[in-house]
Amino acid sequence: MGDDVTVRAGQVLGQAMAFQPAKLVLAGVRLGLFGTLAQGPLSEERLRQRLGLHPRGCDHFLAALAELGFLERRRDGTWANARVADQLLVPGDPASLSGFLRLADQVMYPAWERLADGLRTGEPQAATYSGEDMFDQLYDSEEHKDGLVGMAEDASRPLIPALTEVFDWPSYGSVLELGGCRGNVLAGLVAAHPHLDARVFDLPQLEGDFAAHMSALGMAGKLGFVGGDFFAGPLPEADVLMLGHALVDWNDDQRAQLVKNAFAGVRPGGAFLVWDPVIVPEEESYLRNLLRSLNLQLMTPHGKGYTLAQCAAWMREAGFDSVEHRSLGHDVTLVIAHKRA
Ligand X SMILES: C[S@@+](CC[C@H](N)C(=O)[O-])C[C@H]1O[C@@H](n2cnc3c(N)ncnc32)[C@H](O)[C@@H]1O
To ligand X, the closest distance from the beta carbon of 155 in angstroms equals: 6
Rounded to the nearest whole angstrom, what is the least distance from the CB of residue 136 to ligand X in the complex? 9
Residue nearer to ligand X on the CB measure, 230 or 314: 230
Measured from the CB atom, is 144 or 267 closer to ligand X? 144
Q: SS3 for 332?
A: coil
Task: Report d(CA 184, CA 245) in Å as an integer.
Answer: 13
Q: List, in order, residues 6 or more apart from 43 with CB less than 8 Å away.
A: 77, 78, 79
With CB atoms as reference, the residue minimizing the distance to ligand X is: 179
Q: Which is nearer to ligand X, 79 or 135 (CB)?
A: 135
Q: Cα separations (Å) of 163 from 54, 103, 241, 327, 335? A: 49, 27, 14, 9, 11
C-alpha–C-alpha distance, residues 180 and 319, integer Å: 23
Residue closer to ligand X, measured from CB, 25 or 149? 149
Nearest residue (CB) to ligand X, 229 versus 331: 229
Q: Of 180, 265, 261, which Cα lies nearest the Cα of 224?
A: 180
Nearer to ligand X, 71 or 159 (CB): 159
Residues 6+ apart with CB under 8 A from 45: none
d(CA 58, CA 24): 11
> Is-contact 301 132, C-beta < 8 A?
yes
Residue type, 98: S
Rg (CA), the chain: 23
| CB nearer to ligand X: pick between 25 and 279 | 279
* Interface residues toward ligand X, by CB under 6 A: 135, 152-153, 156, 179-181, 184-185, 202-203, 206, 229-231, 244-246
CB of 222 to ligand X, least distance (A): 18
Residue 17 C-beta: closest distance to ligand X, Å: 32
Contacts of 143 by beta carbon, 8 Å cutoff, 6+ apart: none
Q: What is the DSSP string of 87-127?
A: HHSSTT-TT--HHHHHHIIIIIHHHHTTHHHHHHH-----S
Q: Pick between residue 57 and residue 161 the one whose CB is nearest to ligand X.
A: 161
Minimum distance, C-beta of residue 231 to ligand X, in the bound complex (Å): 5
C-beta of 333: minimal distance to ligand X in Å?
Answer: 14
Q: Are 186 and 223 in contact (CB under 8 A)?
A: yes
